[in-house]
């Protein structure tokens, strides 16, 4: 199948520094793709290459099968929502949004109608005449989104657009963005370092670190089956330990043998183990596979977070049932919730 956007072997160096190392990625029509990673991982550079603001050192960028690298940014059917909004301070809200239409010499009546619809879409009805400096951060970001969407791009790039907003507003805007994307049927490429944001909005998450793509997948797959320790640590909370693969479906960690669902490793191969805090079940000491003492309890709203000292390791456990500090407990883990990952020293941050 023909992909909408193809990044093929994109490499970027600044001087002697390797920013992007052989990035291969395809994006389908109407997909919400999130590039997720810590700062400096190359996610923004990838976005800027798609937008045309950076040229890769080598590699190819195709859109609808056409080579895009020779096309300057103002001729790409791609629009960008910038991190700090980048509204034009010399124009009011209407003129900011109308900028691309004015360049195309659209009729004023057409522009006015489109702006009205667009302002309704981003919940800013009647804000046409306002100056950009009189708007709050959230409102400025909505104007930036409206400005980018009004010329009906095929692809919208968003560079940490919600980074400057407070938590409540950010959650509202996540929902709104997702709705806008569904409503308009536009492909979104979204850059963030916020794993919660990535998990709740994306169709596909691309986890990046140090200029490399570590894993591409649906949010649930990435959460449930992180490919390596870095992904596991970066997405969600986790208990991370090392272990040994004894044979297919049998693993040893924390000094105990466990049943698991993984196979295909060498006998006695050293591996990493990830267990999500909500996947460890607290039992009576007699019923547990591991035995330990609750060291610390923190109330987190929906659940308690308990740190249990067992077999030389501090296990982080999330449960709605409280086991007070000092209690002796047992711990069990279901075989399919033990995630076995190949050792990848280079990816451990």
Partner 1 sequence: MRVALLKRIFVYPYGLWLFIFIVAPLLIIVWFSFGGTDFTLYHYARFFSPLYEGQPFFQRIYIAVLMRSIYLAVISTVICFVLGYPLAYALAKFYSHKSFLLFLFLVPLWMNFLLRTYAWLTILEQNGVLNAFLGVFGLPATDLLFTDMAVVIGMVYNFLPFMVLPIYTVLRDMDKSIVEAAQDLGANKVQVFLKIVFPLSVPGVISGVTMVFMPGVTTFVISNLLGGGQFILVGNLIEQQFLRVGDWYFGSAMAVILMVLILFMMGLIKLFDRQPKDGRTDKTAEGGALY
Applying CB under 8 A, which residues contact partner 1? 51-53, 72-75, 78-80, 82-84, 86-90, 99-100, 103-104, 131-133, 147-148, 151
| E strand or H helix at 224 | helix 219-224
How far apart are the C-alpha atoms of 187 and 264, rounded to whole Å? 37
* % helix, strand, coil for the chain, step of 5: 30, 35, 35
How far apart are the C-alpha atoms of 315 and 344, rounded to whole Å? 22
* 126: phi then psi, degrees, rounded to nearest 5: 80, 10
Tell me the closest approach of the beta carbon of residue 54 to partner 1, in angstroms: 10
- In the complex with partner 1, the residue whose CB is nearer, 143 or 205, is 143
- In the complex with partner 1, the residue whose CB is nearer, 102 or 179, is 102
- In the complex with partner 1, the residue whose CB is nearer, 77 or 113, is 77
**Is the alpha carbon torsion for 154, 160, 163, 164 positive or negative?**
negative
Tell me the closest approach of the beta carbon of residue 30 to partner 1, in angstroms: 21
Collapsed DSSP state (helix, strand, coil) of residue 320: coil
- For residues 37 and 1, is the Cβ–Cβ distance under 8 A? no
- In the complex with partner 1, the residue whose CB is nearer, 99 or 313, is 99
* 191: phi then psi, degrees, rounded to nearest 5: -105, 130
Tell me the closest approach of the beta carbon of residue 339 to partner 1, in angstroms: 40
- For residues 303 and 338, is the Cβ–Cβ distance under 8 A? no
Tell me the closest approach of the beta carbon of residue 193 to partner 1, in angstroms: 18
Tell me the closest approach of the beta carbon of residue 84 to partner 1, in angstroms: 6
Tell me the closest approach of the beta carbon of residue 313 to partner 1, in angstroms: 46
| Tokens found for residue 244 | 């040994």
Tell me the closest approach of the beta carbon of residue 133 to partner 1, in angstroms: 5
| Tokens found for residue 98 | 């109308």
CA 112 to centroid of chain Cα atoms: 36
Tell me the closest approach of the beta carbon of residue 156 to partner 1, in angstroms: 11
How far apart are the C-alpha atoms of 142 and 180, rounded to whole Å? 11
- In the complex with partner 1, the residue whose CB is nearer, 132 or 202, is 132
Which residues make Cβ contacts (< 8 Å) with residue 192, sequence separation at least 6?
34, 35, 36, 160, 162, 163, 198
- For residues 22 and 11, is the Cβ–Cβ distance under 8 A? yes
């Amino acid at each position: 199948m023909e992909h909408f956007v193809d990044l093929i072997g994109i490499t970027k160096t600044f001087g002697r520094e390797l920013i992007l190392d052989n990035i291969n990625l395809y994006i389908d029509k109407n997909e919400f793709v999130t590039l997720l990673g810590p700062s400096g991982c190359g996610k923004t550079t990838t976005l800027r290459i798609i937008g045309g603001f950076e040229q890769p050192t080598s590699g190819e960028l195709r859109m609808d099968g056409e080579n895009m690298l020779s096309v300057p940014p103002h001729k790409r059917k791609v629009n960008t929502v910038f991190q700090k909004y980048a509204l034009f301070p010399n124009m009011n809200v209407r003129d900011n949004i109308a900028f691309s239409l004015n360049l195309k010499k659209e009729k004023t009546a057409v522009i006015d109608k489109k702006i009205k619809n667009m302002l309704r879409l981003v919940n800013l009805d009647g804000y046409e005449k306002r100056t950009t400096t009189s708007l709050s951060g959230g409102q400025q970001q909505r104007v930036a989104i409206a400005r980018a969407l009004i010329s009906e791009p095929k692809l919208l790039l968003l560079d940490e657009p919600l980074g400057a907003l407070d938590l409540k507003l950010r959650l509202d805007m996540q929902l709104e963005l997702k709705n806008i994307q569904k409503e308009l049927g536009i492909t979104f490429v979204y850059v963030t370092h916020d794993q919660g944001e990535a998990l709740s909005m994306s169709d596909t998450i691309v986890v990046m670190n140090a200029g490399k793509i570590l894993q591409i997948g649906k949010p649930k797959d990435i959460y449930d089956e992180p490919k390596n320790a870095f992904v596991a640590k970066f997405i969600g909370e986790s208990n991370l330990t090392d272990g040994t693969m004894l044979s297919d479906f049998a693993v040893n960690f924390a000094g105990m043998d466990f049943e698991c669902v993984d196979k295909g490793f060498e006998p006695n191969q050293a591996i990493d183990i990830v267990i999500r805090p909500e996947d460890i079940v607290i039992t009576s000491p007699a019923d547990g596979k591991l035995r330990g003492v609750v060291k610390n309890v923190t109330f987190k709203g929906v659940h308690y977070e308990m740190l249990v000292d067992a077999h030389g390791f501090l296990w982080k456990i999330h449960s709605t049932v409280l086991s007070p500090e000092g209690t002796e407990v047992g711990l069990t883990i279901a075989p399919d919730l033990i995630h076995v990952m190949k050792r990848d020293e280079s990816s451990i941050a």
